[in-house]
Amino acid sequence: MIQNPGFLLTIFAFVAVIGPLVFVHELGHYLVGRWCGVKAEAFSIGFGPEIAAWVDKRGTRWRIGALPLGGYVRFKGDMNAASQTDPRWLEMPAAERAQSFPAKPLWQRAAIVAAGPAINFLFAILILATFAFVHGESRTPAVAGQVQPGSAAAAAGILAGDRIVSLNGREMATFDDIRLFAQIRPGEPVTIVIDRKGKLFEKQGKVGAVQEDDGFGNKFRIGRLGLAPGEPVIEPVSLFRAPVVAIERTGQIIRTMVETLGQIVGGGRSVKELGGPLKIAEVSGQAATLGIESFIFFMALISINLGFINLLPIPMLDGGHLLFYGVEAIQRRPVSPQVQEWAYRSGLAVLLAMMVLVTFNDLSSFGLWDRLSGLIG
């Protein structure tokens, strides 16, 4: 077992992951806001009491909060950090009102809001493109090099040398596609189309479920078909193709996230698998012990997660604002302040409930509740 990082390294690694990613996210809002002529009154990394702050020549207050769990840019005309419109913005002098966020056209407001998640995706794509350029791209064919006896693949009648054409109708171009498909579907039925010596056959099977240890004592239930690849194929990636490979990998990660979230909503997975800030902190420290490349790759994953979560159509998040703008575009007038207020209150309740849930899960994964029940018992 790999030695777990200490408390100080875990805290340092967590801040080193979250701090830059929050800064990058808010910088997207800030830069597009400036490009659209909106005055930023505050740019905050973290919430809570101020640790440090300064005001630049444009009058923007840059601050660092004590709780590094997020951030915000408050534009002129915003009532609070959630970017709710201040009803008094119409009372501003004309020159100031022209610099306010609510005064801008719909497309500019949407662009400012979307810029945060977009730059998180771009940040991850930059990292993944660098890795692709340096290490190349895995293009190992989707061919069964070996079939593990007693495995799901063996039970379905897969033989060594068979090419996996599709799983549940999804094309398998490389062996990595097989692995990614199976690992989030333990115990699920699967239709396997194979190419055996030029002839297509359809097989019915069930993805195997195995318990794996990540080396730090954390156990996961993942899906396995029981196939091993043949000779690995790593193709070099040119500087021009690297961004394309990175975009494809980002799309794969997002698709996996969407499918996993759908399994949780549909009851196929337990909500106990949802993790929060404490779990991110733990994994940050673990990634740091594995080396700089593992740590940077983990940052890319969290950046994609941050962009994805912020696009969820929940009021208080960027996706909630974009939902309102979509409604505004359709009905050609803004959503009423009363509806927005109700939606923001509901969104806040949802986010608080989610935070309580993931924190409970995090503490449970650390064994806190088992220890407490042992003390009580």
Residue 26 catalytic?
A: yes
Q: Record the pTM.
A: 0.88
Dihedral angle over CA of 225, 294, 254, 113, nearest 10 = 170
Q: Which residues of the chain have pLDDT under 70?
A: 1-3, 79-87, 89-90, 213-218, 365-377
**Per-residue pLDDT at 205:** 92
**Per-residue pLDDT at 129:** 97
- In the numeric block, which tokens belong to residue 91? 């009372």
- Nearest CA among 233, 294, 284 for reference residue 21: 284
**Per-residue pLDDT at 348:** 82
Q: What structural domains does the chain harbor?
A: 7-37+104-134+296-376 (no CATH), 137-235 (2.30.42.10)
Any idea which residue has 């912020």 for tokens?
310
**Per-residue pLDDT at 83:** 61
Q: Residues near 112 by Cβ (< 8 Å), separated by ≥ 6?
A: 29, 32, 33, 36, 38, 75, 101, 104
pLDDT digits (tens, 9 = 90+) for 62-96: 999 988 778 899 998 876 555 666 667 667 787 88
What DSSP element (H or E) covers 53?
A: strand 40-55
The angle subtended at Cα 61 by Cα 56 and Cα 62, nearest 5°, is 90
Query: CB-hemisphere CA count at 13 Å for 211?
Result: 3
pLDDT digits (tens, 9 = 90+) for 127-136: 999 999 999 9
Measured from the Cβ of residue 337, the count of other Cβ atoms closer than 10 Å reads 11
**Per-residue pLDDT at 369:** 46
Distance CA(71)–CA(80), nearest Å, equals 12
**Per-residue pLDDT at 3:** 60
CB distance 205 to 167 below 8 Å: no
- Nearest CA among 321, 327, 331 for reference residue 101: 321
